[in-house]
Amino acid sequence: MTAANTAATPANTTLGAPPPARVRGRRKAFDWPTAAVVVVVVAILGILIIYPLASVFGQALSARGWEVVRSTLTDPVNRQIVVNTFVLGAVVGVLGTVLGFLLAYVQVKVAFTGKRWFHLLCLLPVVSPPFAAATAIITLIGRRGIITHGMLGLDTNIYGLPGLTIVLVMSFFPVAYMNFKGMLENLDPALDDASANLGASKWTTFWKVTLPMLVPGFAASFLLLFVEAIADLANPLVIGGDFTVLASRAYIAITGEYDIVAGSAYSLVLLMPALLVFVVQQYWVGRRSTVSVTGKPAGQKRLITHPSGRVPLLAFGVLVLSAIVLIYLTVIVGAFTKILGINNEFTLANFQYVLSGIGNESIKDTTLLALIATPIAGILGMLMAWLVVRKVKRGSGLLDFLGMLGLAVPGTVVGIGYAIAFNTPLRVQVGGTTYQLLPALGGGAAMFGGAVAIVMVYVIRSLPSGQRTGIAALQQIDPSIDEAAASLGAESTTVFRTVTLPLIRPAFLAGLIYAFARSMTTLSPIIFITTPQTQIMTKQILAEVDAGRFGNAFAFCTLLLIIVLSVMGLMSLLLRGRNDVRTQIGAGA
Amino acid sequence: MINKRVVGAVSAAAVMSLSVVGCAVDTSSTAGPGAGGAPADAKLTVACGAMEEICDAWTKGFAAKTGIPTNFVRLSSGETVARLGATKAAPEFDVWHGGPADGYGAAANQGLLEQYVPENAKDIPEKYKDANGYWTGVYVGVLGFCSNTKVLAEKGVGIPQSWDDLLDPLLKSQVSTAHPSTSGTAFTTLWTQVVRLGSEDAGLAFMAKLHNNVLQYTKSGTAPGQVAGRGEVAVGLVFSHDCVVYKERGMTDLEVSFPSEGTGFEVGGVAVVANGKNQQAARQYANWALTPEAQELGPTVGSYQLPTNPASRIDARMANLDDIVLVDYDFAKAAERKKDLTARFDAEIAAQPKE
């Protein structure tokens, strides 16, 4: 390995080493395999997101749509909604990132037993179906909350920003947690050693070495959480109270005012902050180098064992996890109770209802479709990350953005876009002949009962998380490893398969798990494309919550939790088999 | 290394790869499968705007009666209009059944419904039918107060019997209602004030006073019933049949009452979707939905709206129209004024601080 120079690059100004210039090899012939991959990926994204979006934007940019867009600046009511959206995104982005980081730090750096449980509990909120956390929080600490009213006699009111913040932070922090966990595990312990050898305290090492290396992680997490928070629909509906945000406004426009044009217009406005955050991420964080995996031998990992650091960190971790456990315990207990907090009679009626007729079809369909979508989304995500970080120079930002659209665009808009775009065949008339480019993919009349469109939504909605974690992981890996393989004659696709993919396996795994969980729990785009033949669980939960049957909703949520957790466990087992490639590289050097 | 040549080639290639999927289409078949098909192989897809169980009971009942395979998707009115609009050229639904009439009006205005008056509509009273023949009423829901007697007792307030009872200062933050832009129920509440007080200004003035006692404006029209059922507020403003269901499902402190000054109501409709593939069967379904046979299914699965067909049996758990004063509700006018009125509500009331 020849990567010695570029080893300790972060904060390297103090070390005087040059930044890791990408060594350009001899000018190679046109890289056909990569070009082919780019073409295929872009074509897929074109169908999955650009075409449906274009269908929606056609409406939003009409004269009347544009009037609504302008009203978000001129009309005081609508302006307040925009402000609310920003506030919510920023608050959840910051708090969720900090929480995710702290938990990941405890998990990776602090010595304690039970790390596996700690990890699983941190991931639990990912599998949370929409409405579960919000209804549990209302039951626990709402106006008549079991804790706040029943035990403490308080009349708290958590509707609005406070409740929304609690629920969204608790729901979305795992994104940040997984991000930071992967990054912290990939940090070369030799850096800590070097810092310690130079006389730095643990705190100084943390502040001056660890944190600066994680800047892309903070940015990526904030970006993801910000966009997730402002795009979330289910929670603002249930616990948002009078605190209206753009996502709920767009939904209201469509469901309450029957106005697709206005709904599309609000979504266009919702896209602006997402774009803004994205640009900031690209041009500010993107420039910082964070290479730390270099193929060099890795040192021994050191864990925090001293009580002064260990006790408060662990106490914090336990506190947060207790809150999570409490929330999901509420869901599970609620599933076996008539009306939790009001009528605490034990009952199996909720499960009987869910498992007879209406429920089991949707359980089967949802699980099957999510299982189909997961590997597609996972591999596509890693491919995108690889192309963006390593392969495509001009336009990599654009490519990255295309992949992120599934997250940046609110689910409601994706759903409406799919309904407009895919419920009828896509046909083009050239001369006298009509060419059918795509058959109808969604809607009751389409093949497989519209299931294709649902899988497509699952893929595009869960692609960004894999792509993000993949990019963050790849940015930590020195390109000289790729280049070494390339100079030994490997083609670019071979490099991806045999070098890059194994190195970013933790990120890939995180991407897969998240893709499955997200598919199983996504709601807002699904509302618009479920068909009689293809019932989806989240849609059923919505129906139950709508009807006020919290018990049935909790039962559905419990079953969904069990399914997702089982599949996640299986995936972890399957992919953990061949252990840590990095140590092999290290050993070989 | 990849350079701009690749990216440049990408767009062209993407288009090419799309056309690989493409194939020539015989334009004569573009009307879609089953077009003009015999009723023998007809099958129906219903967009259902009512509760899951009643949707299930309705479609199964029709299938059992006629042998025509019938299934449904439960959708809110807004979703239904959006989906019908999105798939106008080749509708995925044949019939729309259940859900408030104002949604049907919106769909009719966009040309999404067929102008069709089923034969059985002759049995249905005029006030429950569309004057233009796009939809016919299948059930009636009456707006009422859904009170939590335990919370009311804590506050020392009796069960409200008039709209003005809701303005009691003791009920501060103890009233739950939905937002009129998001909920047909809440708009019914708003329009009821306009009708009974004589003008939009007077109606909004009442809502402004009520605003001080409102905890929050929920999105869903039925939510205030659960909020009251869980004891978060003393009174929820919902259609009375929803309150009855919550009570039956375990929220036993709930009690229904009606305002003595008069209250509003909703009509749930049935309509045939324009240009559907199974028009014959769809018409048959719409006609069947008006029969006592179809309308008496409600109470068997927890839907306690009143039937529109006078021949249908009334269940004891339904609201008794003999004891209730209904305001003179003009659906067409209400729908016409909805946009302006909800915008005024947004700006003049919902955005204002509470005293």
Touching B: A residues 302-321, CB under 8 Å: none
Report the residue from A138, A242, A394 with minimal CB separation from B350: A242
Domain boundaries, chain B: 42-140+266-315, 141-265+328-350
Burial class (CB in 10 A: 0-12, 13-18, 19+), B301: middle
Give the residue from chain A lying closest to B10, CA to CA: A39
Mind listing the pLDDT tens digit for each residue in A468-497?
A: 888 888 887 888 887 888 888 888 778 878
User: Where residue A579 sits, what CATH number does that domain have?
Assistant: 1.10.3720.10
Say if the Cβ atoms of B56 and A357 lie within 8 Å.
Answer: yes
| A532 to B173: CB separation less than 8 angstroms, yes or no | no
Residues 6+ apart with CB under 8 A from A233: A130, A247, A248, A251, A410, A411, A412, A523, A524
- Whether the pLDDT of residue A94 is over 90: the answer is yes
Å between A33 CA and nearest CA of chain B: 10
Structural domain of A343: 31-288+306-429+437-588
Residue A150, in any domain of the structure: yes
Whether residue B229 and residue A438 make contact (CB cut-off 8 A), yes or no, is: no
Q: Å from A552 to nearest chain B CA?
A: 11
Predicted pLDDT of residue A412: 73
Q: Does A532 contact B at CB distance below 8 Å?
A: yes
pLDDT at residue B312 above 50? Answer: yes
Q: Flag if A440 and B3 touch (Cβ within 8 Å).
A: no
The DSSP secondary-structure symbol of A441 reads: -
> Using an 8 Å Cβ cutoff, are A20 and A373 in contact?
no
Q: Mind listing the pLDDT tens digit for each residue in A427-474?
A: 766 776 777 777 777 665 666 768 889 999 999 988 887 888 888 888
Q: Which of A23, A26, A32, A39 to mutate: most B Cβ within 10 Å? A: A39
pLDDT digits (tens, 9 = 90+) for B199-257: 999 999 999 999 999 998 887 788 899 889 988 899 999 999 999 988 988 888 999 99
Q: Is residue A297 included in any domain, yes or no? A: no
* Residue A11 domain flag: no
The verdict on residue A6 lying in a domain is: no
Tokens 């078949």 correspond to B29
> Any chain B CB within 8 A of the CB of A338?
yes
Q: Which of A96-110, A427-441, B318-332 has the weakest average pLDDT?
A: A427-441
Give the amino acid at A7: A
- Per-residue model confidence as pLDDT tens digits over A560-589: 888 888 888 887 787 665 444 443 333 333
pLDDT digits (tens, 9 = 90+) for A372-423: 999 899 889 888 888 888 777 777 878 888 888 887 777 777 887 887 788 7
Give the pLDDT of residue B31: 36
CB contacts of B223 in chain A (<8 Å) are 548
Interface contact B18-A550, CB threshold 8 A: no
**Residues facing residue A435 across a β-bridge:** A428, B24
Q: How far apart are the CA of A571 and the nearest CA of chain B, in angstroms?
A: 33
Q: Which of the pair, B185 or A15, is modelled with greater confidence?
A: B185
**pLDDT above 50 (res A518):** yes
Residue A128 main-chain phi, psi, to 5 deg: -65, 120
A394 touches chain B (CB under 8 A): yes
CB contact under 8 A, A241 and B182: no
Nearest of B97, B108, B107 to residue B75 by alpha carbon: B97
In 3D space, the residue among A290, A285, A245, A234 whose CA is nearest the CA of residue A269 turns out to be A245
- Average pLDDT, integer, range B174-180: 92
Q: From the CB of residue A516, how many other CB atoms can be counted at a distance below 10 Å?
A: 27
- Provide the CATH topology of domain B141-265+328-350: D-Maltodextrin-Binding Protein; domain 2 (3.40.190)
Q: For residue B74, what is the nearest residue in chain A, using CA coordinates?
A: A543
Q: CB distance A255–B87 less than 8 Å?
A: no
Q: How large is the ipTM?
A: 0.70
pLDDT tens for B99-135 read 888 889 889 988 999 999 999 999 999 889 998 999 9
A546-561 pLDDT per residue, tens: 666 778 888 998 998 8
CB A123 within 8 A of CB A263: no
Contacting residues of A for B220, CB less than 8 Å apart: 237, 546
Asked if B13's CB is within 8 angstroms of A237's CB, the reply is no
Contacts of A24 in chain B (CB under 8 A): 1
pLDDT of residue A26: 45
Task: Specify the 3-state DSSP secondary structure of A469.
Answer: helix
Q: What is the CATH number of domain B42-140+266-315?
A: 3.40.190.10
Contact of A39 with chain B, judged by CB distance below 8 Å, is answered with: yes
The answer to whether position A299 is within a domain reads no
Q: Please count the structural domains in chain A.
A: 1
Q: What percent of chain B has pLDDT over 90?
A: 54
**Contact (CB<8Å) A258/B222:** no
Query: Chain B partners of A51 at a C-beta cutoff of 8 Å?
Result: none
Whether A342 sits inside 8 A of B250 (CB atoms) is yes
Q: How far is A4 from chain B (nearest CA, A)?
A: 24
Where does the pLDDT of residue A267 fall: very low under 50, low under 70, confident under 90, or very high at 90 and above? confident
Element (H, E) at B47: strand B44-48
The tokens describing A378, both together, are 């996972």
Under DSSP, the state recorded for B179 is -
Encoding tokens for residue A180?
A: 């930071």
Q: Can B42-140+266-315 and B141-265+328-350 be said to share one CATH topology?
A: yes
Q: What pLDDT score does B44 carry?
A: 92
Interface test with B, best of A342, A350, A388, A482 (most B CBs within 10 A): A342
Q: In whole angstroms, give the CA distance from residue B285 to residue A579.
A: 62
